[in-house]
Amino acid sequence: MIIEEIMNRDIHTLGPSNTVKDAIKIMREKKIRHIPIVDEEEKIVGIITAHDLKNILPSTIKDDLNLTTYETTLENIMVKNPLIGHPLDFIEEVALTLYESKISCLPIVSGGRLVGIVTTTDLLYTYIELTGANKPSSKIDIRVTDKPGILSDITEIFKKHHANVLSVLVYPSADCKKNKIVSVRVQVINPLSIIEDLRKEGFDVLWPNLPGVDGP
C-alpha cells in the first residue's frame, strides 16, 4: 500500500507570518495537531505541532500578561525544512521514517507542492484496518517450523472450514530461531473447530489457549 491511499488531503496550512494565536485557533477549530507552514507559492517551508506550541506557551494567561508569546510569528518557532514524503512512498517506509526520526507527522509533497499529510495516528489506524482487528473476528497464533510450504498447509485447514482469513502476520519466535509465529485473524467468532483440526495436524496453537482443548 502506498501513502497516497491513506494520506489526509484536507490540509489546513498557515504562512510564516501567521502567529501562534492563529495556529492555536486552527488547531482548536479543526481538531488537528499538525499545521504545515507554506510560502506564497504554496511550497512547504516548515511545520508546527501542538507539542511545539505547548513548549512555548505559558501555563496560564497570568504568567504572560502582555500576551507577547501569542503574537510570535510562526517563522520564529516552526521546524524549518521538515522531512517530507511522496504520494508513491510505501506505508512501511514512511512508518520507519517517523519512528527513526521521532516525529509525529510527514507532509506529502508532489511536484514541489504540498498534497497531503500523514500522521502516526493515520498509520496506526491503517494497521488496525489491514489486520482486520476492527471487525468481528478471532486471532489464532500458531508456532511453526520455518520451512517452505508451511503457510499453505495452515491455510488449507482454514479453507476446509470455509473461514474467511482477514490477515496473516509472520514473525520470529522468541524461543527458537528456527521457529516462526503465524498469527491469523479469521472472520469467525468461535474458532474451536479450527483449533481442534490444527492440533490434529500437529500444529502448536499458542493462542487462544482454550480450556478443555488439549494440545498436540
- For helices 192-200 and 150-160, angle between their N-to-C axes, nearest 10 degrees: 140
The model's pLDDT over 121-133, given as tens digits with 9 standing for 90+, comes to: 999 999 999 999 9
Same domain, yes or no, for 46 and 93? yes
Same domain, yes or no, for 121 and 139? no
Phi, psi of 84 (to 5 degrees): -130, 160
The answer as to whether 215 is a domain residue is no
Kindly list the averaged pLDDT for each block of 10 residues, start to end, along the chain of length 216: 96 97 95 96 94 79 60 95 97 96 96 96 94 94 94 95 95 90 96 96 89 49
Sheet of 44-49, strand order? 34-38, 44-49, 79-80
The answer as to whether 105 is a domain residue is yes
Domain holding 117, by residue range, is 3-128
C-alpha to C-alpha distance for 166 and 42, rounded to whole angstroms: 41
Please check whether residue 175 is in contact with residue 154, taking contact to mean a CB–CB distance below 8 angstroms. no
- For helices 120-131 and 91-101, angle between their N-to-C axes, nearest 10 degrees: 140
The answer as to whether 64 is a domain residue is yes
Same domain, yes or no, for 123 and 140? no
Report the domain count for the chain. 2
List, in sequence order, every residue forming a beta bridge with 2; answer none if it has no partner.
Answer: 90
**Alpha carbon distance, N-terminus to C-terminus of the chain:** 38
Same domain, yes or no, for 75 and 145? no
pTM over 0.85: no
C-alpha to C-alpha distance for 12 and 34, rounded to whole angstroms: 9
Task: Let me know how long the chain is.
Answer: 216
Please check whether residue 187 is in contact with residue 134, taking contact to mean a CB–CB distance below 8 angstroms. no
The model's pLDDT over 36-66, given as tens digits with 9 standing for 90+, comes to: 999 998 899 999 999 999 888 865 444 444 5
The answer as to whether 123 is a domain residue is yes
The answer as to whether 74 is a domain residue is yes
Q: Which of 76, 110, 128 is the last residue of a domain?
A: 128
Same domain, yes or no, for 61 and 139? no
